[in-house]
Amino acid sequence: MKSILDNRPALAKEVNKVAEVAGYLWQKGWAERNGGNITVNITEYIDDEIRQMPAISEVKPIGTTLPNLKGCYFYCKGTNMRMRDLARWPMENGSIIRILDDCAHYVIIADNPVRPTSELPSHLSVHNYLIGKGSPYKASVHTHPIELIALTHCKKYLEKDVATRMLWSMIPETKAFCPRGLGIIPYKLPSSVELADATIKELEDYDVVMWEKHGVFAVDCDVMAAFDQIDVLNKSALIYIAARNMGFEPDGMSDEQMKEMSVAFNLPK
Ligand code: 2HA
Ligand code: ZN
């Protein structure tokens, strides 16, 4: 079957990265059933021929108006699709959409009329925010990392930066590779406008934000980098659990060690 990815290696590479990450999410047990979502702003890979491609869906409302998305294109996981299927067949379990000039509607252009994630309005609102502030970030990932979610069942870790400090102190790499830490958003109904608004607000200070008792939402330059930030945080949670399972509360790196690291790696905060 013909695909929009044929003879477009740069675009194919981005979509294949999504497939690779989708496989990791499944293997890690973070993507049960249709859990999680990925959207990537692929506008920089769109050529004139793609801009001329006809819609393969009716015109659909986004549900909100997002002025910075005029002329943008996104790869989106399909609604109800499984990450484990997307890992093998990204263009059967996701699609490429074009934002129309009114910035309030979209159409699907390739490869199949797979309806995008139910979280599309919130993902697109995040991309609209990122473009607005001139961010180089192009990818957003929502997933259900087991150990990080478990932490949010404890009130202490819902306080600002308490989880961040604990996670950073488990292994030096975590602060180095997730330097803005883990933002926390108190429980809100999945897919709600309130959750989307709170996420955008928290992304001002963090690249990875935790939705209490639900999952994380991460942004970065590409999907691999967004995944890596979640992965290093969850690795720290696993180290914490391993220590507790050995029968003790882990000491964590000292404040002096954290400081020395932050200076050496030129990290913020
Ligand atoms: O779309 O995980 O929270 C699947 C989800 C929504
Ligand atoms: Zn979810």
In the chain, what are the domains?
1-141 (3.40.225.10), 145-269 (3.40.225.10)
Encode the chain (269 residues) as per-residue pLDDT tens digits: 899 999 999 999 999 999 999 999 999 999 999 999 999 999 999 999 999 999 999 999 999 999 999 999 999 999 999 999 999 999 999 999 999 999 999 999 999 999 999 999 999 999 999 999 999 999 999 999 999 999 999 999 999 999 999 999 999 999 999 999 999 999 999 999 999 999 999 999 999 999 999 999 999 999 999 999 999 999 999 999 999 999 999 999 999 999 999 999 999 86
d(CA 107, CA 54): 9
Tell me how crowded residue 230 is: count the other CB atoms within 10 A of its CB. 29
Q: Is the beta carbon of 35 within 6 A of some atom in ligand 1?
A: yes
Neighbours of ion ligand 2 (CB under 5 A): 215
- The first and second tokens of residue 26, run together, are 């499944």
Q: Is the beta carbon of 34 within 6 A of some atom in ligand 1?
A: yes
What's the sign of the alpha-carbon dihedral 255, 237, 120, 53?
positive
Considering every ligand atom shown, identify the ligand nearest to the alpha carbon of residue 83 and give its number: 1
Minimum-distance ligand 1 atom for the alpha carbon of 143: 2
* Ligand 1 centroid from CA 109, angstroms: 23
Q: 119, 173, 202, 204: which is the annotated catalytic residue?
A: 119
**119 labelled catalytic:** yes
Largest separation between any pair of C-alpha atoms in the chain: 63
- Give the pTM: 0.97
Q: Which of 197, 177, 170 is nearest to 185 (CA)?
A: 197
Q: Is the beta carbon of 39 within 6 A of some atom in ligand 1?
A: no
SS percent in the chain: helix, strand, coil, step 5: 40, 15, 40
